Amino acid sequence: MATLTTYERYLGNDTPEAITCGHYLRQCPMPVYRMRMDVDPGEAPYLDLDVDRLYDTLQDPGQMEPVMDPALEERFCRELVKQMEIHDAPQEQYERLGLEKYR
């Protein structure tokens, strides 16, 4: 049996109806899990998931000071979308990451 996990917890224990398994990725020859994230887990968000952070890891390897540059962030978002398209990312990923406007 396989289990979906994050660093901090198991996913889907109390919402098995949100999990499906299938051939969702063209480049992957085996079924993969997909979990609907619109299901309210009944707990507060953790790890600041709604906060964008961009770091210069060469100058700030400890990632202590986020780079606050909207133009640079937009550039990286557009590049991320290009790579997601190349790698056949599911539509839900663009929505989950808030990248629809860069498509």
- Dihedral pair phi/psi, residue 35, rounded to 5°: -125, 125
* CA pair distance 11, 2, nearest whole angstrom: 11
pLDDT-based confidence at residue 64 (cuts at 50, 70, 90): very high
Decide if 77 contacts 94 (C-beta within 8 A): no
Q: Above 90 in pLDDT, residue 3?
A: no
What are the beta bridge partners of residue 5?
10
Decide if 88 contacts 25 (C-beta within 8 A): yes
Q: What is the pLDDT of residues 71-102, one digit of tens each?
A: 999 999 999 999 999 988 888 889 888 899 99
Region of poorest pLDDT, from 27-31, 59-63, 70-74: 27-31
